[in-house]
Chain A
């Protein structure tokens, strides 16, 4: 069993309630932070922990906190990004659903450290029932003196508010989230200014992911140095992975980042192997926007080394032969899955979710979807593959926000690693409508543990 820092108590009956959470040692980190630690000391512990943003970008959380401007007389805000919408990702939902008080405790400590008296949880509208759980937990916490005025007699006031989104992936982007929280369309802002200077209502704002903020609790409990000892290199602590697709045991797993990808997929403790005795074909290891990897590059890096479930190892080889840790949405595709079709559904997703502000994303995502649709339905030309490649290249890096990149990468990686499958689709127009390319892709037999 690996180390569990976040989900350790997830299976304790009634842990969702304040009483059980408290009995199990909950809110002791908040007590420690608010009563015994200075603001600087808390930020320092988070910095020392090496905690990286768990939303997808992996930006060091402590550093993000240190950027926040502190102009005299201007309120600051912490906003929790619970707009989890990246296909393949459902870890935050799990955490909020089962351990709402863990998030609240993390939010309280972080609000204290950042000086946020009004902290918002921006939760995606579809998670309305999770929002209800959070609201209930907030009421419990307030009743027990953990939220409200003069918390623990420290003079610190803090209230946590739940803000329900209404169906827009783009609101996971922090400035779009802020716009949405201001009651506007979720159009990402043009940066600079960054939220740390001018965020919510033009006040200094920090936006952190649910898992990031929950991780502050164990960091304060054990100290940043101890936290940093878990894991490897710059991948410190534990990470929640939401595993889905064609595996025996889909679900949310907490891993310390020393486990190999192969162990994660095939061990009974985690994914339990590929479902229905099928073979592994490919994997999108960090949420739909990160590059898809064929099985051979997933289990081993291009250098032939074992690939591990951490930031560095998953991105080993860059986009040429590697991928990204991303949000931890781990999508497994078995031998029966069609890469063209999978890429098409993702392209459709990004077209659907583009806010439409900037031209490369607004026009490019729809164009890619149409071409993929054409190839998938057996009407493609070989030149379409090159056209797709060229379009994604012209979107990537040229848009206001990372949605453009997120739309471009899956298409690029699919072509990069599975060009032969695209060509097969095009050259076998009728056959491709009834049968599957399967695993022909691999010249070498892939090692599949018994």
Chain B
């Protein structure tokens, strides 16, 4: 498998690198890895990281070290929609455990797993900075806040619809 940015992604790559001074292109690594993850199916296969290393003119190990450090990079394939549910203190006291249990039950997966149809992944995460709107989860870029069982049902249905519409 060879993974490379297409023209549009290369334009974005150049825009990201241009933010940093000449010779400091390694600074763009985190944003570029986000771009790679978004471009290559929501996760970072080794080939994607190697491609980034070549583009930024750094050693592959420097990319691996960074990609494994930060929790937002997925090093294994994930579903189309990743439910990142916050479980830290403020969310916990507002009932995040019930929400997590409910999602597990509704999707029949455990944290870290992906549904068989490849649509949903459940990931437990630590504080996302939405403590006042707890319990909450992040799906893609979007924060889903003030979660209730009903809301979870609606969100799952919404994404299922989206997938169905695309097929």
Direct chain A–B contact by Cβ atoms under 8 Å: yes
Chain A residues proximal to chain B, CB less than 8 Å: 75, 84-90, 92-93, 118, 120, 124-129, 132, 161, 163-169, 180-186, 201, 242-246, 250-252, 284, 288, 329, 331, 333, 337, 341-342, 345-346, 348-349, 352-353, 355
A120: chain B residues at CB < 8 Å are 19
Which of B90-98, B99-107, B151-159 contacts the other chain? B90-98
Q: Are B126 and A349 in contact (CB under 8 A)?
A: yes
Bound form: Cα–Cα A90–B73 in Å: 23
Nearest chain B CB to A178's CB is how many angstroms away?
A: 10
Q: Are A89 and B94 in contact (CB under 8 A)?
A: no
Q: Are A331 and B138 in contact (CB under 8 A)?
A: no
Bound form: Cα–Cα A203–B88 in Å: 36
Given contacts A90-B132, A183-B26, A183-B28, contact A345 B92 (CB under 8 A): yes
Pick the residue among B65, B71, B94, B130 that contacts A168 (CB under 8 A).
B71
Q: Are B142 and A252 in contact (CB under 8 A)?
A: no
Would you give 8 A-B contacts (Cβ < 8 Å), ordered by A?
Answer: A87-B131, A129-B141, A180-B30, A182-B27, A183-B30, A186-B69, A201-B21, A201-B27
Q: Are A164 and B90 in contact (CB under 8 A)?
A: no
B132: chain A residues at CB < 8 Å are 90, 242-244, 250-252
Nearest chain A CB to B17's CB is how many angstroms away?
A: 11
Bound form: Cα–Cα A161–B134 in Å: 31
B33 within 8 A of A: yes
Dominant SS at the A interface?
mixed
Bound form: Cα–Cα A87–B75 in Å: 26
B129: chain A residues at CB < 8 Å are 84-85, 89-90, 92-93, 124, 126-127
Q: Mark B124-149, 1 if CB is under 8 A from A, else 0.
A: 01111111111000100111000000
Q: Are B27 and A169 in contact (CB under 8 A)?
A: no
Bound form: Cα–Cα A331–B62 in Å: 38
For A250, the closest partner residue in chain B by CB is B132
B51: chain A residues at CB < 8 Å are none
Nearest chain A CB to B62's CB is how many angstroms away?
A: 8
B72 within 8 A of A: yes
Task: List 12 additional contacts besides A163-B19, A185-B69, A346-B89; criterion CB under 8 Å.
Answer: A120-B19, A165-B70, A166-B71, A168-B69, A168-B70, A182-B27, A183-B29, A184-B26, A244-B94, A245-B94, A337-B93, A349-B89
B24 within 8 A of A: yes
Q: Are A85 and B29 in contact (CB under 8 A)?
A: no
Q: Are A164 and B34 in contact (CB under 8 A)?
A: yes
Nearest chain B CB to A245's CB is how many angstroms away?
A: 6
Q: Are B90 and A244 in contact (CB under 8 A)?
A: yes
Q: Are A166 and B89 in contact (CB under 8 A)?
A: no
Q: Are B127 and A169 in contact (CB under 8 A)?
A: yes
Nearest chain A CB to B137's CB is how many angstroms away?
A: 11
A245: chain B residues at CB < 8 Å are 90, 93-94, 131
Within 8 A of A (CB), among B77-123: 87-90, 92-94
B66 within 8 A of A: yes
B29: chain A residues at CB < 8 Å are 183-184
Bound form: Cα–Cα A247–B60 in Å: 49
Bound form: Cα–Cα A185–B66 in Å: 5
**Residue among A126, A288, A349 with max Cβ neighbours from chain B (10 Å):** A126
B71: chain A residues at CB < 8 Å are 166-168, 352
A92: chain B residues at CB < 8 Å are 129
B92: chain A residues at CB < 8 Å are 341-342, 345
B41 within 8 A of A: no
Nearest chain B CB to A335's CB is how many angstroms away?
A: 12
Q: Are B65 and A125 in contact (CB under 8 A)?
A: no
Bound form: Cα–Cα A244–B66 in Å: 33
Q: Are B72 and A163 in contact (CB under 8 A)?
A: no
Bound form: Cα–Cα A182–B28 in Å: 8
For A181, the closest partner residue in chain B by CB is B27
Bound form: Cα–Cα A50–B60 in Å: 47
Nearest chain A CB to B134's CB is how many angstroms away?
A: 7
Bound form: Cα–Cα A186–B30 in Å: 11
For B128, the closest partner residue in chain A by CB is A126
For A92, the closest partner residue in chain B by CB is B129
Pick the residue among A185, A342, A348 that contacts B93 (CB under 8 A).
A342
Bound form: Cα–Cα A168–B126 in Å: 10
Q: Are A349 and B27 in contact (CB under 8 A)?
A: no
Q: Are B70 and A331 in contact (CB under 8 A)?
A: no
For A356, the closest partner residue in chain B by CB is B69
B125: chain A residues at CB < 8 Å are 167
Pick the residue among A89, A185, A346 that contacts B131 (CB under 8 A).
A89
Q: Are B34 and A166 in contact (CB under 8 A)?
A: yes
Given contacts A87-B88, A183-B29, A246-B94, contact A128 B141 (CB under 8 A): yes
Q: Are A126 and B138 in contact (CB under 8 A)?
A: yes
A182: chain B residues at CB < 8 Å are 24, 26-27
Q: Are A349 and B66 in contact (CB under 8 A)?
A: no
B21: chain A residues at CB < 8 Å are 75, 118, 201
A288: chain B residues at CB < 8 Å are 88-90, 127
A185: chain B residues at CB < 8 Å are 65-66, 69
A161: chain B residues at CB < 8 Å are 19-20
B30: chain A residues at CB < 8 Å are 125, 163-166, 180, 183
Nearest chain B CB to A303's CB is how many angstroms away?
A: 29
